[in-house]
């Protein structure tokens, strides 16, 4: 269990979840910390925390479930939360600030992988890569069949929703395809030459593809609603590698079924871990099980970053990837 002798002198880190990446972290960076692992205990979580974590200063968590007040109430010494996600919608920053707790997050570790996946999903929706693979493998048949014509990517007008690090990486990649890039974000970026639209309606009206790269906040919740989808139009494509609830998922499904938008490539969903079954039968939809970040390289990268943030914290040095709300 978590209390054995030799690791007692290492700095103590409470792990909840655990995050997917924790096994990578433990194996790649051994003997760095003494981990408290409540999931290995017979005790209920609350009792584990009040029994063993009263002096715990650092906490490592996944993106889900949300870090709530009852848990924080059990951790009176907590000073640092390290989350291994780029999205931070599971954290209440007002409360954490009030308790004097800092946050380190994934920063840009996943940005390239997520951007690669966004482009992969877009090519797949337009060019039917998955459908072609399925077609060949399932029908066991010679090629040059009645396979439908698809749509060209090069030259398309792409609308990036949220031009942060991930959105910028997506834009950089699609420039190489000769696409024309526009974007919507809270403010115009002074150093960026792409066309800026101050609201997502104008962006949708002027683009053939929307790529959702923003995080989930009160402002972005259901930002891509039925009206935006109708503005995007019947040949329009939506790619979502941000967060599911940025799109009104129920309306999106209706638009996809009724042909009011042309297709979608989705790595995230509004009510994860559930994916609406209505999406499974749609040929114009490519689904991905929230794997935009799951490469060997990014797992080693986030494990390293989490360790470095914890080491910085215990050495009273600045965090490497602090989240400033």
What does the binding site for its own copies look like in residue numbers (CB under 8 A)? Answer: 20, 112-113, 115-117, 119-121, 123-124, 126-130, 132-137, 140, 142-145, 147, 149-155, 172-178, 269, 272-275, 277, 280-281, 286-291, 294-299
Q: Which residues touch 174 (CB under 8 Å, ≥6 apart)?
A: 119, 122, 158, 181
The residue annotated as part of the active site, out of 26, 202, 260, 272, is 272
CA distance 203 to 223: 12
Give the nearest distance from C-beta 239 to its own copies in angstroms.
12
Give the nearest distance from C-beta 303 to its own copies in angstroms.
12
Residues 13 and 34: beta-carbon distance below 8 Å:
yes
Which one, 76 or 148, has the nearer CB to its own copies? 148
Which one, 96 or 245, has the nearer CB to its own copies? 245
Active site (annotated) includes residue 296: no
Give the nearest distance from C-beta 291 to its own copies in angstroms.
6
CA distance 181 to 242: 18
Active site (annotated) includes residue 175: no
Which one, 272 or 308, has the nearer CB to its own copies? 272
Residues 158 and 179: beta-carbon distance below 8 Å:
yes
Give the nearest distance from C-beta 192 to its own copies in angstroms.
16
Residues 241 and 114: beta-carbon distance below 8 Å:
yes
Which one, 146 or 218, has the nearer CB to its own copies? 146
The residue annotated as part of the active site, out of 89, 290, 308, 311, is 290
In 3D space, the residue among 118, 10, 18, 7 whose CA is nearest the CA of residue 64 turns out to be 18
Give the nearest distance from C-beta 61 to its own copies in angstroms.
15
Which one, 95 or 235, has the nearer CB to its own copies? 235
CA distance 12 to 33: 6
Residues 99 and 52: beta-carbon distance below 8 Å:
no
Q: Which residues touch 246 (CB under 8 Å, ≥6 apart)?
A: 161, 212, 214, 216, 220, 221, 222, 223, 224, 240
Active site (annotated) includes residue 272: yes
The residue annotated as part of the active site, out of 243, 249, 251, 270, is 243
Could you list the active site residues?
243, 272, 290
């Amino acid at each position: 269990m978590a209390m054995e002798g030799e690791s007692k002198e290492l700095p103590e880190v409470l792990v909840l979840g655990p995050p997917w990446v924790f096994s990578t972290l433990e194996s790649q960076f051994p003997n760095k910390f003494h981990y408290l692992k409540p999931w290995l205990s017979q005790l209920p979580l609350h009792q584990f925390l009040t029994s063993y974590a009263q002096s715990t200063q650092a906490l490592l968590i996944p993106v889900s479930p949300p870090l709530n007040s009852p848990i924080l109430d059990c951790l009176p010494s907590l000073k640092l939360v390290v989350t291994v996600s780029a999205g931070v919608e599971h954290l209440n920053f007002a409360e954490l600030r009030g308790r004097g707790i800092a946050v380190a997050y994934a920063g840009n570790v996943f940005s390239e992988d997520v951007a690669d996946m966004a482009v992969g999903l877009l090519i797949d929706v337009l060019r039917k890569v998955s459908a072609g693979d399925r077609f060949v493998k399932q029908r066991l048949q010679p090629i040059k069949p009645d396979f439908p014509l698809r749509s060209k990517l090069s030259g398309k007008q792409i609308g990036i929703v949220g031009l942060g690090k991930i959105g910028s990486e997506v834009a950089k990649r699609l420039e190489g395809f000769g696409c024309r890039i526009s974007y919507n974000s809270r403010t115009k970026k002074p150093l960026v030459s792409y066309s800026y639209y101050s609201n997502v309606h104008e962006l949708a009206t002027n683009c053939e593809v929307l790529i959702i790269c923003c995080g989930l906040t009160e402002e972005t919740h259901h930002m891509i609603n039925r009206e935006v989808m109708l503005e995007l139009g019947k040949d329009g494509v939506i790619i979502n590698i941000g967060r599911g609830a940025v799109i009104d998922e129920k309306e999106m499904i209706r638009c996809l079924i009724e042909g009011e938008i042309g297709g979608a490539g989705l790595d995230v969903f509004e009510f994860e871990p559930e994916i609406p079954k209505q999406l499974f039968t749609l040929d114009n939809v490519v689904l991905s099980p929230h794997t935009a970040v799951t490469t060997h390289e990014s797992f080693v990268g986030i494990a390293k970053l989490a360790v470095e943030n914890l080491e910085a914290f215990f050495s009273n040095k600045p965090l490497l990837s602090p989240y400033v709300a």
